[in-house]
């Protein structure tokens, strides 16, 4: 399942798979969701100021994710079909953890970028 914490233009998709045996504990608390909410709140009403900067950071992640997911899912199903359940589980967990971590890092980069865009668009930069 793909989940976006906010509307897709201000957020990114994070993969969550049924059957994953591990989770990044930050997703079980408000920590991650609050980062996406901050992005959404800052950009609300100033779409033209922030949209390109947000998408510049999030689009490459999503392009890679959308390409990698079907490949990983096929590999997972092949491993399960050949009786290699532990290998399949490890593949799923590693894939998920990698993308969960990357999503968090990208939200932090986006918030830093938005601060820079705020300064550039204001009288502070003049």
Looking at the chain, which runs of residues are DSSP E strands?
2-4, 13-15
Is 102 inside any structural domain? yes
Q: What is the pLDDT of residue 5?
A: 77
> What gap in Å lies between CA 61 and CA 75, rounded to an integer?
21
Q: What mean pLDDT do residues 92-116 have?
A: 93
Domain residue limits at 41: 2-121
State pLDDT tens for residues 35-57: 888 888 888 888 788 888 888 99
In a domain, 126, yes or no: no
Inside any domain, residue 111: yes
Each residue's pLDDT tens digit, 14-24:
888 888 888 88
pLDDT given at position 81: 97
**Domain annotation covers residue 88:** yes
In a domain, 67, yes or no: yes
Mean pLDDT across 93-104: 94
Element at 14 (helix H, strand E)? strand 13-15
Please give the tally of structural domains in the chain.
1
In a domain, 92, yes or no: yes
Whether 41 is in a domain gets the answer: yes
CA distance 18 to 66: 18
pTM: 0.84
Domain membership flag for residue 66: yes
């Amino acid at each position: 399942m793909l989940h976006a914490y906010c509307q897709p233009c201000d957020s990114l998709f994070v993969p969550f798979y049924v059957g994953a045996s591990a989770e990044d504990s930050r997703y079980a608390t408000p920590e991650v969701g609050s980062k996406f909410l901050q992005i959404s709140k800052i950009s609300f009403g100033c779409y033209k100021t922030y949209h390109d900067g947000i998408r510049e950071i999030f689009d490459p992640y999503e392009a890679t994710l959308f390409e990698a997911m079907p490949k990983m899912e096929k590999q997972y199903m092949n491993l399960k079909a050949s009786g290699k359940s532990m290998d399949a589980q490890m593949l799923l967990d590693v894939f998920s953890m990698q993308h969960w971590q990357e999503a968090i890092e990208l939200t932090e980069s986006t918030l830093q970028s938005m601060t820079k865009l705020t300064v550039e668009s204001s009288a502070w930069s003049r």
